[in-house]
Each structure stands twice: as C-alpha cells, then as structure tokens.
Amino acid sequence: MSSQDRIWTAGLLVIGDEILSGRTHDKNIAQIASWLQVQGIRLTEARVVADDMDAIAMAVNALRTSYDYLFTTGGIGPTHDDITVDAVAQALGVPVVVHPEARAILEDYYTDKRGGLTEARLRMARVPEGASLIPNRMSGAPGIRWGNVFIMAGVPGITAQMLDGLTGTLEGGKVLLTETLGGWVAESEVADLLRATEKAHDGCQIGSYPFFREGRTGANFVIRSTSQEALDACAAALGAGFTALGLDYRRGGI
C-alpha cells in the first residue's frame, strides 16, 4: 500500500451514565463520524462507558493504541461526576496539572459571572501533563489534546465548536466518497444483484439499509469508494441492474 492509500483510522469513546441509562440520546457518534469522514479519517470503532475511572482508562488505552486517533466526549465539566481528565491521565500514566492558558481563559470567561473563577470552575483547567488545548468559543472551557487523544465536550454544540477548531489540522487519507440509490423494494429482492455488483467493482462496498415507512418497504443502497471513477461505474451498474429487474430507483436515496 502506498502512503497515499494509507487508511487513517479513529476510535471514539463516549463517556457518560446518561447515555447508558437511555436518558440522553447520543449525538456525538454521528457528528464526529461525519466530521472525520471529511478529514479523510475513518471512524472504525466507538465505545460508550459509564462515569467510572477504570472503565474509562481501560477503554482509552485499548482505543488509542488500536487507531491513529482517539476522540473522547463527555465528563470534562466542573462537577464531581466529571472524571474524564483524571481517567485519561491515569491511562497515560501522567499526573493531572492545571494548564496556565486554560486557567487564563476561564478567568477571563468567568470575570463577569456570579462567583467568578471558583474551585469547581477551575477543575475545567485541569489537563493530563503535557497536553495542549482545543479552543471552544461557546463556553470558555477548552478541549484537550494529548498525543493522539482528543478530549472533547459531551454537549454536542460545544463539541461542534471544538471540531471546527480542529478542521484541517489532522493528517488523513483519501476521503471516502459515497453514492446512494434508493428504491421502494424489499432488499431481499435485490440481494443477488447487490452481491454481484459489489464483487464486480473492486474498491467499492455496497451497504443495504432497509426501512419501513408509511406501511411500505424500501431500502437505500450506499456505495462507498475512495475513487470517484470506481464509484460512478458501480452506481451506473447498480442502476442498470435495477432497471433490468423492472425496478424504479432514485439517485440520492429515498
């Protein structure tokens, strides 16, 4: 594999009891996955763990050593259940320190707010020793980078700001391109066509995603490739296959 074709990978660790209790619907997996795709990086695995030091530390070490990048979300606020920084530091084997720049950012942010920079708020300036900061224009408290580990907020709107600050700064590979064909058809009716089409088009993968809407059966077929040429050829072949079976389809999906 040439270095141009190297596939860059990322793991994601979502931290928080609220996700595992079903109380909060996670939005960061989809948000970070979409952002990574544009950076030419593939989200290869995501994990969700509770607010538990050992569970977080174990997952951090498993994922940061398996993939090029590791992103975490959640657990970096000012309250007692925000233990992500401590757990990541434990995983990395470094102490937790107050980052002077983070402290200055928080001092500035809380100047006019009730109570000022309290002990609780100062918790948000704590980082694993050796870390740098990821700017966050929304709420003051920055994200944290340590080597290939990126520690982000749990609130999706804040994570979006941090991702924005990172856009274009990470090394990635070719962007995975997609083309979607959708039809009001049971996927089982075109299973043979899908398999044969994928087999005939090197470097393309076809995913089949069925749904039930308004009492009808349909499916979207998503072709993925890093080559626009291969993608176009595969989409054309799949479309021709649908037509030969007498099936309507729509490019872009339904």
Site for a copy of itself in 207-226 (CB under 8 A): 207-212, 222, 224
| Number of residues in contact with a copy of itself under rule CB under 8 A | 72
**Does 248 sit near a copy of itself (CB under 8 A)?**
no
Query: x/- site string to a copy of itself, residues 180 to 199, per CB under 8 A?
Result: ------xxxx-xx-xx--x-
Least Å distance, CB 144 to a copy of itself, is 18
CA distance 28 to 47: 11
Rounded to a whole number of angstroms, the minimum distance from the CB of residue 207 to a copy of itself is 5
* Cα–Cα distances in angstroms (integers) from residue 153 to residues 67, 111, 113, 120, 221, in the given order: 21, 22, 21, 17, 33
Which residues, 6+ apart, have CB-to-CB distance to 139 below 8 Å?
Answer: 109, 153, 155, 158
Question: Toward a copy of itself, which CB reaches closer, 56 or 127?
Answer: 56
Q: Which of residues 3-22 bind a copy of itself (CB under 8 A)?
A: 16-22
Distance CA 134, CA 162 (A): 6
Let me know: does 151 contact 132? Beta carbons within 8 Å. no
Residues 6+ apart with CB under 8 A from 33: 12, 43, 46
Classify residue 88 by its DSSP letter: H
Write down the least CB distance from residue 236 to a copy of itself, Å.
19
Q: How many CB atoms lie within 10 A of CB 18?
A: 16
The tokens of 62 are what?
A: 């498993």
Contact criterion met (CB below 8 Å) for 106 and 113: no
Min dist CB 171 to a copy of itself, Å, is 20
Closest CA to 222 of 213, 212, 99, 234: 234
- The binding track of 123-142 with respect to a copy of itself, each residue x by CB under 8 A or -, is xx-------------xx---
CB of 91 to a copy of itself, least distance (A): 16
Q: Cα 242 to the chain's mean position, in Å?
A: 33
Q: Which is nearer to a copy of itself, 98 or 130 (CB)?
A: 98
Region 22-81 residues binding a copy of itself, contact defined as CB under 8 A: 22-27, 29-37, 42-51, 55, 77-81
Query: Judged by CB under 8 A, does residue 254 bind a copy of itself?
Result: no
Judged by CB under 8 A, the chain residues 152 through 171 that form the site for a copy of itself are 155, 157
Candidates 95-103, 162-170, 203-211, 233-241: pick the segment binding a copy of itself (CB under 8 A). 203-211
Residue 120 beta carbon to a copy of itself: minimum distance, rounded to whole angstroms: 3
Q: How far is the CB of 72 from a copy of itself (least distance, A)?
A: 15
Q: Which window, 87-95, 107-115, 128-136, 230-238, contacts a copy of itself (CB under 8 A)?
A: 107-115
The span from the CA of 197 to the CA of 122, in Å, is 57
